[in-house]
Amino acid sequence: MVMIRPSLTLVLDLDERAAGKETILEIKRNYAYVCTPVIRTHAAESEDEPMRNTARFIINMGTYKYLLSSDEGADDRWNEIVEPWIGNMFHKVGNTMKVFNDRQRKIKLPEIIFERVNLEMQGGAFNVSLHTDPISFINPELNAQVGLARMLLNDGTLAGAVQVEAPSDASWQTQNESAWNAWIEEHPEALEPTPEPEPETEGEPEEQLTREEWLERDKEAKSYENTAVPVTDSESLPPIPHEEEEEEPEQFDFDVDYHIWNVTFEDGTTRIFDANERSFVE
């Protein structure tokens, strides 16, 4: 039996305001163990617009069919190969996103938050767009949401659909606002302005010496180089001051509820779908 192994094309679309040369190089270095990412940039509509970054997951399976149950062997390929592989890719890429941003915070550089992960299946015939959590992490268990969307497409519930967004933008905004208000009550210090670093104080001006004075000082210094110095008892030395690492403030985060979907159809129309009830709500 031929071993079928999917491959991932990862396209990272960055707001050009965050896409500095060093940042792009660091992203490529961090993501290299998953795959070689394709980096694209886009301009913001205005300077006041929040930064929006997205990640496209393009599943490559050659000529093998896995989306529609009507294709021979598609269900077996999905259940045994594709869905578990999606979970594994979510795990690898999600961890990389988190590690990258942890490092960015430690070195005082802006984080790169990916708002959505857009999964493209069977050459873009059907796409599932998943919102990441507030720290730009994609849960590996969300492969089950992708599997549910595929199942509902095949049983006719989502007949004619070309894309599912989970959760819908409106649902995400409601969840995010509610979670933020609750979180900020417990962490009011997060609203305090970040203190600006104090300007570096200038040291004492460099001592101005004549040539003769420099020669005399150099001669004096060299005379000590060959002077025997008694061994110092290490226990008598003062302890080396230990600089404690600054504790990072707790980050805003919450468990995202993915059951309210926005479904887009072939004709461009959209409807809101409740995945728990398996029915449209409007």
Q: Tens digit of pLDDT for each residue in 24-48? A: 998 999 888 888 899 999 998 888 8
Tokens 């996103």 identify what position?
97
Q: Which residues contact 38 (CB under 8 A, 6 or more apart)?
A: 9, 10, 11, 12
| SS3 call for 12 | strand
Please check the confidence at residue 96 and state whether its pLDDT lies above 50. yes
Tokens for 15, please give them: 């707001």
At which residue do the structure tokens 């694209």 appear?
40
Strand, coil or helix: 242: coil
Q: Which tokens in the block code for residue 4?
A: 């079928």
> pLDDT per residue over 134-149, tens digit each?
877 889 999 999 999 9
- Model confidence, pTM: 0.77
Burial 175-208 (b: 16+ CB within 10 A, else e): bbeebeeebeeeeeeeeeeeeeeeeeeeeeeeee
Contact criterion met (CB below 8 Å) for 110 and 123: no
Per-residue pLDDT reduced to its tens digit, 222-271: 554 455 545 445 455 455 555 555 566 667 778 899 999 999 999 999 99
Q: 166 — phi, psi (to 5°)?
A: -130, 125
267-276 LR contacts (CB < 8 Å, sep 24+)? 267/160, 272/168, 273/158, 273/164, 275/145, 275/148, 275/166
Q: What is the mean pLDDT of residues 166-195?
A: 82
Contact 133, 253 (CB under 8 A): yes
- Residue 246: the pLDDT is 58
